[in-house]
Amino acid sequence: MRPLAVYAKTELALHRAAGCFLYDENERAILDFYSGHGVISIGHSHPHYVARLSEQLQRLMYYSNAVDFAEQTALCEVLGPLSGCPDYDLFLVNSGAEAIENALKVASFVTQRTEVVAMRGSFHGRTSLAAQVTHANRICAPVNAGLKVTFVALDDVAAAAAAITDQTAAVLIEGIQGVGGIWEGSSLYWQELTRLCRDRGALLIADEIQSGFGRTGNFFAFQHHGPTVKPDLICTAKGMGNGYPVAGTWVRQGLPVTAGSLGTTFGGNPMACTAARAVCEVLQKDDLIARAAALGQNLTAALRDIPQIKAVRGRGLMIACDIEGDSYPLRSRLLHKHGVLVGSASTKETLRLLPPLSVSEDQCSALLDKLRLALNES
């Protein structure tokens, strides 16, 4: 037996990780500016995180949602105030795709409708409904068919107004598009989507799977667009657990969700809740959300001063920079010659930067120095 190939593999054999560094089998240190698709939020093997999970593992690793356990309540008590969204109920699952599936299911239950509006360039996951609302047909098998999805251009208010009808169950938008290349809707667009959904009886779903948990300098990316933007459902995962599988569908209180309509065996188990709570505690204690905003502002300004970089986008520590031509050779040089791991996007010229929110100023400077060297070697 062997593992099924799912991605084109980066040539890197990992042995361990700590802070913002990965270490290969030869103990070579590699500065991690990708965090495994933006998953590592507070740093690899953070001491507080490890201690919390170790204690929980020895005390109570698992039981199902058939019983109450204090870890779920403890997570909600810290997460509500930290996020600025205490008026939501949290359905805990295991992955971002599950969070999306359940958000769409809630929207259809509530509205009794079956149509969805989503964004071009989007990525929401690889399971059935999530694949259909992702703007990438190659991930849909024939069985992933039947959902009526209208894809509209990000930031095109007129197109959204035409697409959202009295048959629309949900409008789905990423806080910032990740795989698509770090593209963000304007404040006006978010505000108009909110209004259109309210006026036409559709539910607004914010996919904050990559952009949430402080990565953009606010807890959620949609919070950059003013107090009138209030999604009906929010989806989180990735940075929520710092590597432990945990995700959530946040349901605005007041939406009529019938008991028993949603369920999960592993979701919200004590280990998952403890992992997410530990992340929240470190975000608070170390003020990582504000640091992400400040470091990101400095980093994007410095990137714009590099002549070979043609464009820079993003907020906080969710950043893209475009070069001329395919970025693969540059990414390969950065990894193998300079010891820095960065990400790619669906656009071949794009580098995606998603370091842990615990990254230091010196580590950002090191990234910039090594990027300049690698660009000048082309």
Neighbours of 15 (CB within 10 A): 11
Q: Sorting pLDDT into bands at 50, 70 and 90, what band is 139?
A: confident
Helix (H, G, I), strand (E, B) or coil at 116: strand
> What percentage of residues in the chain have a pLDDT greater than 90?
92
Residue type, 365: S
Question: Residues in the chain, how many?
Answer: 378
Is residue 152 situated within a structural domain?
Answer: yes
Is residue 105 situated within a structural domain?
Answer: yes
Could you tell me the CATH number of the domain that includes residue 162? 3.40.640.10
Query: Which pLDDT score is estimated for 9?
Result: 75
Summarised one tens digit per residue, pLDDT across range 325-334 is 999 999 999 9
Alpha-carbon gap, residue 354 to 34, rounded angstroms: 4
Rounded mean pLDDT, 65-88: 95
Q: Sorting pLDDT into bands at 50, 70 and 90, what band is 10?
A: confident
**Residues of the domain holding 105:** 66-285
Summarised one tens digit per residue, pLDDT across range 282-327 is 999 999 999 999 999 999 999 999 999 999 999 999 999 999 999 9
Is residue 81 situated within a structural domain?
Answer: yes
Is residue 108 situated within a structural domain?
Answer: yes
Does the pLDDT of residue 155 top 70, yes or no?
yes
Does the pLDDT of residue 145 top 90, yes or no?
no
For residue 254 the two structure tokens come to 């007041």
Is residue 139 situated within a structural domain?
Answer: yes
Rounded mean pLDDT, 147-157: 97
Q: Sorting pLDDT into bands at 50, 70 and 90, what band is 378?
A: low
Tell me if 328 sits within 8 A of 352, measured CB to CB.
Answer: no
**Could you tell me how far CA 318 lies from the centroid of its own chain?**
10
Work out how many domains the chain is built from and give that number: 1
C-alpha distance from residue 144 to each of 6, 120, 148, 167, 207 (Å): 18, 18, 11, 21, 20
Greater pLDDT, 260 or 9: 260
Q: Sorting pLDDT into bands at 50, 70 and 90, what band is 260?
A: confident
Is residue 228 situated within a structural domain?
Answer: yes
Is residue 316 situated within a structural domain?
Answer: no
Is residue 247 situated within a structural domain?
Answer: yes
- For strand 203-207 and strand 168-174, is the pairing parallel, antiparallel, or unpaired? parallel
Does the pLDDT of residue 17 top 80, yes or no?
yes
Query: Which pLDDT score is estimated for 8?
Result: 76
Query: Which pLDDT score is estimated for 80?
Result: 97
